[in-house]
C-alpha cells in the first residue's frame, strides 16, 4: 500500500450537508481496502481562474494509505460527480501528518 494526498474541489454553492455527504461517500470507498489517516475541510476558497463558471470552490483534503485500484475507482467516480469541479491525487513515500496548511483541524 502507498500513501496519497487527495484533494477534492466542490462547487461553491454546496450546502454543509452536501459537503458532509461528499466526504462520507468517498471515505467509505477509501475504507474498503485502505485507511484515511487525516481529513481536512479547508472550506470555501477563491480559485485563480474560473472552473466550470465557478469563481470559488469548497476544498476537502484526504491523507490516506491505500492501493492504486482504490485511487482509480475514486477518480472514476469523481469525474462523473456533478458536485465536484476538480480533484487531484498525489502519491508520496511518506506523509506529513503534523502540519496544518490551512489551520483547519478535523
List, for residues 32-81, the tens digit of each pLDDT value. Answer: 888 998 899 999 999 999 998 999 999 999 999 988 888 899 999 999 99
Q: Which CATH superfamily is domain 2-92 in?
A: Ribosomal protein S6/Translation elongation factor EF1B (3.30.70.60)
Residue 71 in contact with residue 6, Cβ under 8 Å? Answer: yes
106: confidence class by pLDDT, cuts 50, 70, 90: very low
Cell of 94: 511518506
| Residue labelled with grid coordinates 490551512 | 102
pTM higher than 0.75: yes
Amino acid at each position: 500500500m502507498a500513501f496519497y494526498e487527495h484533494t477534492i474541489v466542490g462547487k461553491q454553492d454546496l450546502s454543509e450537508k452536501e459537503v458532509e455527504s461528499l466526504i462520507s461517500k468517498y471515505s467509505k470507498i477509501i475504507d474498503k481496502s485502505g485507511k484515511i489517516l487525516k481529513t481536512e475541510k479547508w472550506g470555501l476558497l477563491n480559485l485563480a481562474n474560473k472552473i466550470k463558471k465557478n469563481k470559488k470552490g469548497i476544498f476537502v483534503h484526504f491523507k490516506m494509505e491505500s492501493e492504486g485500484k482504490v485511487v482509480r475507482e475514486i477518480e472514476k467516480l469523481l469525474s462523473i460527480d456533478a458536485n465536484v469541479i476538480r480533484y487531484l491525487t498525489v502519491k508520496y513515500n511518506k506523509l506529513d501528518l503534523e502540519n496544518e496548511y490551512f489551520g483547519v483541524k478535523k
